[in-house]
Structure 1
Amino acid sequence: MRVSPMKKKVEIRRSALKKKMDHLERLWRENALHLELRLHLQETITLYEQLD
């Protein structure tokens, strides 16, 4: 069974879009983790400053 050139282009673009979306999702998760860690560190620093 032959695949039409147009259908093949759509499949390639869909695949490229999926890869890009997966990459962006991974970056978003990493960024969210960094923000969470930064917030936790800031809270810890604030608590230690209150002890002084």
Structure 2
Amino acid sequence: MCWLARGQRPSEICWRIGISEKTFEKHIASAKTKLKSRTRDQALAKSVLLGLLPL
């Protein structure tokens, strides 16, 4: 999620770490569930506020 917070697109992140976009979306869905967020942006914001992402 750190790269998302820095503004990289999901396709760029997938290419960089060598996973499919479907796998990426599964990981994002898992993070949204754990953070009790409705959207990816909300999950990112909560991660930053909780100090889970090193920015």
TM-score with structure 2 setting the length: 0.31
Asked which structure has the greater CA Rg, the reply is 1
Q: Which has the higher contact order (CA 8 A, sep 6+)?
A: 2
TM-score with structure 1 setting the length: 0.33
